Amino acid sequence: MKRALLIMLTLGLAVAVASPAMAVDWSARGFMNIKAAYYKNVDLRSPINLGGPPGTNSLGLGAGSLDPAWNRQSAWVQMRTVLYITARANENLYGTVGFEIDSYRWGTGEGTTFSGGAGRDVGQWNADAVAVEVKNAFIDFKAPFVPVWLRAGIQTILVRPWVFLYMDGAGISARIVFDIDPVTVSINPFWGRILENLDHTAADDQDLYGVDVNVGVGGITGGLFFAYQAQRQLYDGPATEGDSKQWWLGPHLDARFGPFAANFDFVYNGGVEDFQDGTADIDHEGWVLRGVASYTLNKFKFGIGGLYGTGDDIDTNDIEDYRVPFQTQGAATNQDLLIVMGDWGLCCPQGTNNVSGFYKPLSNTGAGVWYVRVFADYQVLSWLKLMANVGYIGDTTTGTFDPRVPGLPADTFGTDWDDDDSIGWEFDVGFQLKVYKNLDLSSVFGYLIGGKALVSMADGDRAQDPWMWVTTLSYAF
């Protein structure tokens, strides 16, 4: 009898201990993205420079970039895998851990990396690298009695990512939603910790604060976001220590009525770098404007889009080009142009393309360029779409440059002495193929007929027209 009671008690304790774990609902999602690129005269690393060949010009100055990307062809394959694992206790509480595995180049040499951290690249032939990165680790829960969701931990912060903010980092965010038929109001505040330096003082910390408010009625959603970034004690050395305080204000609009769709973004960036040694402060004042509109007629979709991003005026000490928050992967989902903006036509999960140092276009924030483009898509079959895109790109960096005085070139990408306006015409064509429900293949080709704003310092030589062919295979699960 005692033995039977002991067995029953042991089983009861085992069930009691196991029952909380059994109540958790586990799920996983993610993607695997393989990308191959073949291109000429496009340097996908940072800094971007389409400068001239080695040597010096007639004035004895440097001839521009000594980079081997000058008028050379190159090709590589890269891969990114992201896995999110979620443990949901109930409808109001769950936790998520996200992992990322990168191969910046297939065939990377052992002990080398494109990401700045040894061992983080699995692309080497001996692929047993310690390369699993923690992308997310957060708790998400609904506050009792109020329509508020809170998220705390390492998370992805998204605010109009094609023009402003896409970043993984530690912080706290909230989602507050009010449904007052027919109006839906959402308020999304967030705080991110950029840098925690000395624990005993807050004077050297760096933070990003913001809120995005959206109001939706029928097919129209309008919104406004505000963000403030404080980078304290930004510079090393007592002679140049100071604070950088940046702020952004961004109205935006999304509309969809039947076959018509449009979105609009305007972001103003202001701020100041305040030095403590009496050096003149540096003011920041820039902005970006972007809009896209399309109309779908049966299997065809026609559209027009454009962007204007302020460039710097090199004749002043202030900063006039549009800036985004610290190290943001802004414009990671921008699909306007293949060569200039980097993502056009690629059917990949959000955030898998233009990550700084991973795959970088000429202008991954829109700063220093403006363009107008027209595009058309044709859904030939349910599993095949053909695409075409044409855009004219101009230069918004201004100023004068005396070749006898050290200074910066007056163009966004070019390195000559003139303030030129034309970056050129870009022509893009491609297709998207749905192999299976979760498996997509896309292949696109872009050609940029370069203008004078791509001229180098090598006695007026210009880089040959950049072109690029990119193919992606993406499995989302």
Which of 135-144, 202-211, 411-420, 442-451 reaches the highest mean pLDDT? 135-144
Residue 239 has pLDDT above 50, yes or no: no
Residue 109 forms beta bridges with which residues?
A: none
- Give the tens place of pLDDT for each residue, 180-213: 889 999 999 999 998 887 666 556 678 999 999 9
412 vs 88: which has the higher pLDDT? 88
Q: What is the pTM of this model?
A: 0.84
pLDDT at 413: 75
Residue 279 has pLDDT above 90, yes or no: no
Residue 356 has pLDDT above 60, yes or no: no
Q: Return d(Cα 195, Cα 207) in angstroms, integer.
A: 7
pLDDT at 274: 78
Residue 360 has pLDDT above 60, yes or no: no
Which CATH number, 3.40.190.10, 3.30.420.40, 2.40.160.100, 3.30.465.10, labels domain 36-73+142-476? 2.40.160.100
Lowest-pLDDT choice from 84-98, 287-301, 338-352: 338-352
What is the amino acid identity at position 240? T
Residue 451 has pLDDT above 50, yes or no: yes
Average pLDDT over all residues of the chain:
79
Can you read off the two tokens belonging to residue 426?
A: 């870009």
pLDDT at 291: 96
Contact present, 138 and 152 (Cβ < 8 Å) = yes
pLDDT at 76: 84
241 vs 31: which has the higher pLDDT? 31
Residue 134 has pLDDT above 50, yes or no: yes
Element (H, E) at 11: helix 2-22
pLDDT at 403: 55
Reference 335, options 476, 135, 472, 154; nearest CA is 472
pLDDT at 16: 44
Residue 377 has pLDDT above 90, yes or no: yes
Average pLDDT of the segment spanning 150-171: 92
Can you read off the two tokens belonging to residue 209?
A: 């604060």
Average pLDDT of the segment spanning 391-399: 90
